[in-house]
Structure 1
Amino acid sequence: MGESRTELIAWVNDLTQLGISKIEQCGTGAVHCQIVDSIYRDVPLSKVKFNAKHEYEYVSNFKILQGAFDKHKIENSIPVERLQRCKFQDNLEFLQWMKKYWDQYYPGGTYDAVARRKGADIGAKPAAGTASTRSATSSTSNLKKTPSVPSVATSTNRLAAAAAASKRPAATSRAPAGMASSPSQWEAEKQELEQEYNRMVQDLTQQVLELKVTVEQVEKEREFYFGKLREIEVYVQQLLDNGSTAPPMSILQEIQGIMYKTEDGFEVPEGAEYEEETY
């Protein structure tokens, strides 16, 4: 059984110094980025929006988290669509998995979370008197990794969120908290998200086209070989109906001719020859 809500919140705050008060606050993806960074020390936290307030900002954070998962071959899918709704149960289960993974792979030693993210915060402050660094040793608990889900599913989640973000109005006179105060910087981030959305649309469209071509090729091969079997069936039936006394060799040669017949798209590879079997 995984850790309780209270235990997980205490662990997250001790490790990250973010001062979260609810499990639902992990739905922005920022907390998970910092947890993975505490293990590998290579997550680009400067790009993580710790004070994220909008869905498209959550998507940006989870994109960074997915990149870290892919880089370190972490074989667990990230349920972005469910996590970014900031519901308690979904975020509790994923955070329990993150804690188990951290217990197994945390290298130990001191991790200065505040310095790693250059002072960025989610708004709430840690309790007074809490040190800005922590020291921990890795646990010996074992983790059974969950098989990964095809990347198309995760891409679809990010695509839906990015699509919603692209429809949002341009920046108003006052940028939301945690975002760039300059309208030009705000517009640049919006354009970057729109470009990412367009790239994902193109990637998924290309995948659909490739799958369509594959299906058509398989169907063509199926019809080709079925046609051969049908020709053999008809030929044998004709011999039986006519009471044919044709020599066995000529019958075999006729069947072999049907089997080795080719058509467009099913050419015999250059240099390859069929060997006549001996009966």
Structure 2
Amino acid sequence: MAGSRTDLLAWLNDLLQINYTKIEQCGSGGAYCQILDSIYGDVPMSRVKMNAKHDYEFLANYKIMQNIFKTKKIDRPIPVERLSKCKMQDNLEFLQWMKKFWDSNYGGHVYDAVARRKGVPLEPPATVAPLSTRSGTGLSAGSGGRAGGRTPVGGFRSGSAQPNEAVQQLQAQVRDLSGHLEGLEKERDFYFEKLRNIEILVQTQLEVLEGESKDDVTLREIQKILYSTEDGFEVPENAAVDEEETF
């Protein structure tokens, strides 16, 4: 049975002695690396960026993770591009697989997660895609024109009244977009809570039936729908690694 979001977070926080509040925070890759370290004990945790905020730090964590998969001959593709976008569904699916893998391979030994991180204090990662350190414009001081001689965004030069108006318009657009985003997040949380309540009811009833050596096909189908993913998302366990998702 696939683990629920709440159960997975409780397990993750207890195992790694962290304080994640959302599945999306696993997208930095640090927690995945330390789950593997709890099993094998030889992940180079000094190189794992548990407080990763930049894209190159995220990718460095996944590179370490891929090396462990290769060394330990773990036949499972790592969807780096999707996971590093910190989307809940992608990371939920992968964390469910990680929990199942941990259950099958953890030796029951005592694992001191804080000591393995050498006591480095942790801040829960953000739940948005990492900050990029790459230049998006491709412009530099020597790419044409002298410094300070460029026309500001909006097409007006400093000293005129128009730039202030342009900035105010942009700020108003940002406020509108922020309000719209907040509304979408509330709507998302509203429907997610409904689904979560259904999930709890179904899971509780199935546990009761299992205790009585019974089953309910309808409840199983409802649970299957709750845990289903988009077509083409799941990858067969013996499938080859997607070249586009590796370094």
TM-score, L = length of structure 2: 0.53
Query: Partner of 1:72 in structure 2?
Result: 72
Query: Partner of 1:17 in structure 2?
Result: 17
Query: Partner of 2:225 in structure 1?
Result: none
> Once superposed, which parts of structure 1, at least 4 consecutive aligned residues long, lie more than 4 Å away?
none
- CA–CA distance in 2 between the matches of 1:122 and 1:81? 24
Deviations 1:223-247 (A, max 9, x none): xxxxxxxxxxxxxxxxxxxxxxxxx
How many Å apart are 1:151 and its aligned residue?
A: 5.8
Provide closer, same or farther for how the CA distance between residues 71 and 117 of structure 1 changes in structure 2, counting only shifts above 3 A. Answer: same
May I ask how many residue pairs the two structures share in their alignment? 137
- CA–CA distance in 2 between the matches of 1:100 and 1:150? 20
Provide closer, same or farther for how the CA distance between residues 83 and 121 of structure 1 changes in structure 2, counting only shifts above 3 A. Answer: farther
- CA–CA distance in 1 between the matches of 2:10 and 2:59? 26
Query: Partner of 1:146 in structure 2?
Result: 237
- CA–CA distance in 1 between the matches of 2:60 and 2:22? 21
Deviations 1:173-228 (A, max 9, x none): xxxxxxxxxxxxxxxxxxxxxxxxxxxxxxxxxxxxxxxxxxxxxxxxxxxxxxxx
The residue type paired with residue 34 of structure 2 is Q
Q: Secondary structure at the match of 1:85?
A: coil
- CA–CA distance in 1 between the matches of 2:50 and 2:121? 6
* Structure 2 runs not aligned, ≥5 long: 125-235
Query: Partner of 1:56 in structure 2?
Result: 56
Provide closer, same or farther for how the CA distance between residues 48 and 2 of structure 1 changes in structure 2, counting only shifts above 3 A. Answer: same
- CA–CA distance in 1 between the matches of 2:80 and 2:53? 16
Q: Does 2:87 match 1:87?
A: yes
How many Å apart are 1:18 and its aligned residue?
A: 1.4
Structure number with greater CO (CA < 8 Å, separation at least 6) is 2
Q: Percent identity?
A: 57
Contact kept in structure 2, 1:8 and 1:96, CA below 8 Å: yes
Counterparts of 1:190-201 in structure 2, within 5 Å, are none
How many Å apart are 1:109 and its aligned residue?
A: 1.9
Counterparts of 1:167-206 in structure 2, within 5 Å, are none
* Structure 1 runs not aligned, ≥5 long: 125-144, 159-279
User: Could you say what the CA RMSD is over the residues aligned between the two structures, in angstroms?
Assistant: 1.7
Counterparts of 1:104-253 in structure 2, within 5 Å, are 104-124=104-124, 146-150=237-241, 152-155=243-246, 158=247
- CA–CA distance in 1 between the matches of 2:83 and 2:241? 18
Contact kept in structure 2, 1:26 and 1:91, CA below 8 Å: yes
Q: Which has the larger radius of gyration?
A: 1
Query: Partner of 1:47 in structure 2?
Result: 47
Q: Secondary structure at the match of 1:18?
A: coil
Provide closer, same or farther for how the CA distance between residues 18 and 58 of structure 1 changes in structure 2, counting only shifts above 3 A. Answer: same
- CA–CA distance in 1 between the matches of 2:99 and 2:86? 18
Contact kept in structure 2, 1:28 and 1:61, CA below 8 Å: yes
